[in-house]
Amino acid sequence: CPTAADLRPANGTRVCAQLYADNSPYYDQCCAGDVLVVPPGSDMPYMPRGWSARASSLVVGTRCELTVWSRKAKKGKSRRFGA
- Burial per residue of 27-37, b for 16 or more beta-carbon CB atoms within 10 angstroms, e otherwise: eeebbeeeebe
Contact 82, 64 (CB under 8 A): yes
| Mean of pLDDT values over 43-72 | 89
Using 50, 70 and 90 to split pLDDT, how confident is the model at 79?
Answer: very high
Q: What is the model's pLDDT at position 14? A: 83
**What's the pLDDT tens digit per position in 7-46?**
876 677 788 999 998 877 777 778 888 999 999 899 988 8
Measured CA to CA, the distance from residue 8 to residue 26 in angstroms comes to: 25
